[in-house]
Structure 1
């Protein structure tokens, strides 16, 4: 099953030497029965896109915490795509695409990395700073969060991770 794991650039830099994404349990996103039901009539590509978008939103929350610790961190959402055994995945509460992985993901199972372009950083930084207010119902903050979602994540091969985190 293809899963989408949210992370940040600093966390990605720490994961690479470990040789795996972990420890378990890991929050991720995937094409779940609930997502298929919600997007009835959508093809597999559209469903995968929706699952990856869920992971990008989760990455934004991780990034907000990261920026709280290090305001100078690069403000880019990061999503790792991995192909894991179906048995490793179970549904999770929350987003329709939310799942939990019961085991770490070995680096060799990663299929690709998706990262914001540098041009998105200002919007992503503003969105990360507005997450709490948006969750509380602030409409202007919700617009800032939507501003990050207007940016498409760029595709990278796993072998390009050193260049992304360097």
Structure 2
């Protein structure tokens, strides 16, 4: 199953260093039956994009935690790692596309990485600080999330990840 793992720049650096991506709490997103039922229309590609977008929003939550811990040197870029894994558990208690995996994802299972460009950093930093308020219905905070989500994530193949991290 193709899954989308939310991450941060330090998590991407660890992937390059160790050859494994360690998702926080095993949380990932995928085109689940529940996600498919949520939408009246849309082909698999469109619904996969929805799952990836949910992972990108989860990446904002992870960034919000890192910034809250004083990690101001962390690049304000959403990171989503796309991978193909077999051991996936549906999470009906969370978002429609939420799944859980057990353990690390080896680099060999990574299909691609999606990362914000430098131009998105200001909007992403603002959104990371507002994501909790947006989840609680604050419309001003939701506007900030939308500003970040207006930036498309850049696509990188597995062979490009080390160069991406090196160039920062």
Q: Same fold (TM over 0.5)?
A: yes
1:12 aligns with 2:12: yes
After the TM superposition, which residues 16-31 of structure 1 pair with which residues of structure 2 at under 5 Å, given as runs?
A: 16-22=16-22, 26-31=26-31
TM-score by length of 2: 0.91
Partner residue, 2:118: 118
Q: Deviations over 1:62-112 (max 9, x none)?
A: 111122231232100000000111xx0011121110000123211100000
Tell me how far 1:57 sits from its aligned partner: 0.6
Partner residue, 2:88: 89
Stretches of structure 1 that go unaligned for 5 or more consecutive residues are: none
Q: Say what the alpha-carbon RMSD is for the aligned residues.
A: 1.5
Q: Deviations over 1:22-70 (max 9, x none)?
A: 2785100000000111113310110110010010011111111122231
TM-score by length of 1: 0.92
Stretches of structure 2 that go unaligned for 5 or more consecutive residues are: none
**Contact conserved, 1:24 with 1:101, CA < 8 A, in 2?**
no
**Contact conserved, 1:4 with 1:51, CA < 8 A, in 2?**
yes
Q: Whole-Å Cα distance in 2 between the matches of residues 72 and 18 of structure 1?
A: 21
Change (3 A) 1:10 1:38: same
Partner residue, 2:159: 159
After the TM superposition, which residues 11-160 of structure 1 pair with which residues of structure 2 at under 5 Å, given as runs?
A: 11-22=11-22, 26-68=26-68, 69-85=70-86, 88-92=87-91, 93-160=93-160
| The 10-residue stretch of structure 1 (134-143 or 109-118) with the greater mean CA deviation from structure 2 | 134-143
Aligned residue pairs: how many? 164
Q: Whole-Å Cα distance in 1 between the matches of residues 78 and 18 of structure 2?
A: 21
Q: Whole-Å Cα distance in 1 between the matches of residues 122 and 141 of structure 2?
A: 14
